[in-house]
């Protein structure tokens, strides 16, 4: 069976290139190790972790989960439309992706404000040290993702279709990594302890 150049490229050059995927795997490993450490310390201080988890607003976490999953779906539609050459439709889906990304940050900010008003900061206890470090690190990733998406949006009319597809797939890979990280954080932080 003869393999085409496109098949070869897809196998050895994933969307965004090898370097982006190395970064994504390193990020996932970093978050994974932090979550394992959180679970370990949760076993050491089960009462503190349980009582602290009850201080979280699960509704905020659930709303943000739905927001990010919707945003990820819209990003997938963006890439699909770019592949079809439908730039105007792609722009609309990309704007929707970014709106939901910003909405995630708004909901998270409201949650952070409530915690700070209640005196629950990074040094409150071990659970909230993990909560603040993990969720703030995730927020930084969402902000970086939004900057990348804004850059892709403004380049939609300026680049060749092949470059647009590569850029949109790379930005989608990073954005979906943010989704995946949140899908790991949400149950462990908001539901398990």
Measure the CA–CA gap between 124 and 131, rounded to whole angstroms.
10
Measure the CA–CA gap between 32 and 181, rounded to whole angstroms.
9
Residue 19 has pLDDT above 70, yes or no: yes
| Higher-scoring residue by pLDDT: 166, 159 | 166
Give the pLDDT confidence of 66-117 residue by residue, as tens digits.
Answer: 999 999 999 999 999 998 889 999 999 999 999 999 999 999 999 999 999 9
The position carrying tokens 């609309």 is 92
- Domains in the chain, start-ordered, CATH in brackets? 58-192 (1.20.120.80)
What's the average model confidence in pLDDT over 164-179?
Answer: 89
Residue 12 has pLDDT above 70, yes or no: no
What's the average model confidence in pLDDT over 141-168?
Answer: 85
Q: How far is CA 50 from the centre of its chain?
A: 26
């Amino acid at each position: 069976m003869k393999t085409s150049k496109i098949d070869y490229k897809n196998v050895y050059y994933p969307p965004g290139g090898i370097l982006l995927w190395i970064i994504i795997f390193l990020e996932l490993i970093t978050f994974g190790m932090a979550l394992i450490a959180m679970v370990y310390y949760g076993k050491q201080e089960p009462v503190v972790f349980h009582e602290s988890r009850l201080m979280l607003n699960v509704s905020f976490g659930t709303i943000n989960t739905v927001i990010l999953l919707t945003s990820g779906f819209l990003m997938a539609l963006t890439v699909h439309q770019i592949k079809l050459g439908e730039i105007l439709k792609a722009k609309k889906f990309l704007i929707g992706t970014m709106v939901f990304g910003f909405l995630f940050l708004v909901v998270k900010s409201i949650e952070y404000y409530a915690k700070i008003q209640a005196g629950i900061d990074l040094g409150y206890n071990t659970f909230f040290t993990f909560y603040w470090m993990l969720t703030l690190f995730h927020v930084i990733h969402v902000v970086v993702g939004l900057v990348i998406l804004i850059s892709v949006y403004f380049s939609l009319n300026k680049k060749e279709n092949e470059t647009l597809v590569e850029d949109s797939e790379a930005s989608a890979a990073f954005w979906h990594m943010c989704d995946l990280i949140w899908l790991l954080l949400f149950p462990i932080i908001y539901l398990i302890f």
